[in-house]
Amino acid sequence: MSAVIDSGHAHDEHAHGPYGGVMRWVTTTNHKDIGTLYLWFSFTMFLVGGMLALAIRAELFQPGLQFWHPEFFNQLTTMHGLIMVFGAIMPAFVGFANWQVPMMIGAPDMAFARLNNWSFWMLPVAATLLVGSFFVPGGASAAGWTIYAPLSTQMGPGMDLAIFALHIMGASSIMGSINIITTILNMRAPGMTLIRMPLFVWTWLITAYLLIAVMPVLAGAITMLLTDRHFGTSFFNAAGGGDPVMFQHIFWFFGHPEVYIMILPGFGIISQVIPAFSRKPLFGYSSMVYATASIAVLSFIVWAHHMFTVGMPTAGILFFMYATVLIAVPTGVKVFNWLTTMWRGSMSFETPMLFAVGFIFVFTMGGFTGLILAIMPIDIQLQDTYYVVAHFHYVLVAGSLFSLFAGFYFWVPKWTGRMYDEKLGKWHFWLSIIFFNVTFFPMHFLGLAGMPRRIPDYALQFAGFNEIASIGAFAFGLSQILFLWIALKVTVLGRGEEAGQRPWDGADTLEWTHLPSPAPYHSFHEQPVLG
């Protein structure tokens, strides 16, 4: 540790600053540094995944094959899904947890600082495996992000690389979750009782338990795939006494909780932003906590709504149908509470609030299409069509991604001490929400008309809506370059008005009330005193 140098600008006298240069980032155990690493990593993966998406939309702009071989097209859809889910959305939420959880509960750092460093640095390795798999013989995995057997037991080494990457990212998530749970349960400042905990912290606590529960299930499924592929087992091979449908059961037992893992922390962010810009406390705080917990529990008993077309006894179909529809109740409670929080509030619509209100609007549409898909007689028609693609992009892009944007604009003044460019931020919102809908709304019609997903070519009658969707997708992609500029400007270039300690007068959690902006490298080394 002899290389530790005082970097001069450290705020507290007793604190030592970071290493200089690259080593700062390689060796850091600081929750803010690690949060920053997570956020830049996930944004990079977002751009990579976005490029794959544009390659898909370019091919689908017109019927016929223009750019890619069908095999390569399947690699594009697969890697787009894997990279967005595991490389962009999940790590971005962990980045927010790193930055915000310690500051919001009055803790000096995460509980296991070195584990935290390790959780992050596994991710670039996994990302390299994923992206690198395009260049091995046979190319990347082309079995879809759901890697169903027996497709996934047949492919080349690209599939093995994807399996290893998933293992590594799963381990990273589990370690991150252990860290988050321990931090929240053990390191809250005196007076920060569970009942006073901000909702973002609550949602992450519950999400972390979900992650610990289901990431090992995914690990088990892909390990079985690996041994089926290389060590002569036949878990998923009917010829050897196994069952390919079992893969789907195991995958979705992970997969459905996984989709909630990607939305619950987003609910948490929205639950911070809406009250702050409505200048009212969150309506139904307790219901929100309970609704989150029940969504988490119920998410374990609905998985087979992804498998209605596989074939199931009627009793099984009805069970999963009813359970799925019931899970919409706590979700509805949340939407109701956000709306009630806004009711008669003195609202203002800066960029974080725009994204939050946009979130409620579009996420709710995604929830409704989910309900429609949960009705088995309808799903029989719509399964594996573009209707499903529309559903999950409404909940994941307009849900998870928009909540991440809301959180970024909300907290970046605290992180950097400067305000982002409000005018450009508003542009970013309007461009995003308009082109999001231009891209994905027509997909409902495509799905209803019967266009299957994951195909490089389609029948002529689908041409019109596909053209619109592709134009929307390119415009949406370009709008995110605007976001890159906004983010660079306020973080790296340090341009923008000084934010002051509490730029949002309605925001009342500890990071706003107790810490200056930018938050010092080491915050809450002395426990804050709460009333």
Partner 1 sequence: MASEQTPKSASPLQVAKAVLGSFLGIRGRAAHESDVTQLKPAQVIIAGLIGAAIFVLSLVLLVRFIVGSAA
List interacting residues with partner 1 (CB under 8 A): 188, 190-195, 284-287, 289-291, 293-295, 297-298, 300-301, 314-315, 318-319, 322-323, 329-330, 333-334
Known catalytic residue at 9: no
Known catalytic residue at 369: no
Known catalytic residue at 258: yes
Known catalytic residue at 207: no
CB of 316 to ligand HEM, least distance (A): 14
271, 400, 403, 517: the catalytic one is 271
Distance CA 144, CA 224 (A): 17
Known catalytic residue at 306: yes
* CB nearer to partner 1: pick between 147 and 298: 298
Distance CA 164, CA 126 (A): 7
Known catalytic residue at 12: no
DSSP 412-430: HHHHHSB---HHHHHHHHH
Virtual torsion, Cα 510, 516, 519, 524, nearest 10 deg: -50
Strand, helix or coil for residue 385: strand
Known catalytic residue at 133: no
Known catalytic residue at 80: yes
DSSP 498-515: B--S-SSTT--SHHHHT-
Distance CA 285, CA 274 (A): 12
Known catalytic residue at 172: yes
Whether residue 251 contacts residue 305, with contact meaning beta carbons closer than 8 Å, is answered with no
Strand, helix or coil for residue 452: strand
Q: Check binding of 367 to ligand HEM (CB under 6 A).
A: yes
28, 42, 152, 172: the catalytic one is 172
33, 59, 109, 421: the catalytic one is 109
Q: Check binding of 256 to Cu ion (CB under 5 A).
A: yes
Known catalytic residue at 188: no
CB of 383 to ligand HEM, least distance (A): 3
Whether residue 30 contacts residue 109, with contact meaning beta carbons closer than 8 Å, is answered with yes
Distance CA 513, CA 229 (A): 56
77, 203, 278, 331: the catalytic one is 331
Number of alpha carbons in the 13 Å side-chain half-sphere of residue 230: 9
Known catalytic residue at 6: no
Residue among 323, 350, 153, 356 at smallest CA distance from 244: 153
**Which tokens is 42 given?**
């996930």
Q: Check binding of 242 to ligand HEM (CB under 6 A).
A: no
Known catalytic residue at 504: no
404 alpha carbon, distance to own chain's centre:
8
| Of 100-108, 165-173, 188-196, 251-259: span binding Cu ion (CB under 5 A) | 251-259
Binding mask 376-415 for ligand HEM (x = CB under 6 A): ---x--xx----x--xx--xx--xx---------------
* CB nearer to ligand HEM: pick between 180 and 373: 373
Q: Of ligand HEM, partner 1, Cu ion, none, which one does residue 146 interact with (CB within 5 to 8 Å by kind)?
A: ligand HEM
CB of 42 to partner 1, least distance (A): 29
Residue among 426, 428, 429, 415 at smallest CA distance from 503: 415
CB of 12 to ligand HEM, least distance (A): 40
CB of 294 to partner 1, least distance (A): 5
* CB nearer to partner 1: pick between 62 and 287: 287
Binding mask 183-222 for ligand HEM (x = CB under 6 A): ----------------------------------------
Distance CA 326, CA 331 (A): 9
Q: Of ligand HEM, partner 1, Cu ion, none, which one does residue 379 interact with (CB within 5 to 8 Å by kind)?
A: ligand HEM
Q: Which residues of 315-341 are buried (b: 16+ CB within 10 A; e: fewer)?
A: eebeebbebbeebbebbebbbebbebb
Residue 251: other Cβ atoms inside 10 A: 24
CB of 93 to partner 1, least distance (A): 21
**Which tokens is 18 given?**
């970071």
| Of 64-72, 252-260, 344-352, 419-427: span binding Cu ion (CB under 5 A) | 252-260
Residue among 40, 493, 125, 430 at smallest CA distance from 422: 430
CB of 260 to partner 1, least distance (A): 14
Known catalytic residue at 260: yes
Strand, helix or coil for residue 265: helix
What single DSSP character describes residue 453? Answer: S
Q: Check binding of 146 to ligand HEM (CB under 6 A).
A: yes
**Which tokens is 308 given?**
């209605």
Q: Check binding of 487 to ligand HEM (CB under 6 A).
A: no
Whether residue 508 contacts residue 530, with contact meaning beta carbons closer than 8 Å, is answered with no
CB of 524 to partner 1, least distance (A): 16
Angle in degrees, CA 287, 304, 244, rounded to 5: 145
Handedness of CA 427, 340, 271, 211 (dihedral sign): negative
Q: Write down how long the chain is.
A: 531
CB of 394 to partner 1, least distance (A): 21
| Of 16-24, 101-109, 254-262, 350-358: span binding Cu ion (CB under 5 A) | 254-262
Provide the binding-site residues for ligand HEM, judged by CB under 6 A.
146, 259, 262-263, 305-306, 324, 328, 331, 367, 370-371, 373-374, 379, 382-383, 388, 391-392, 395-396, 399-400
Active site residues: 80, 109, 145, 172-173, 256, 258, 260, 271, 305-306, 331, 334, 453
Provide the binding-site residues for Cu ion, judged by CB under 5 A.
256
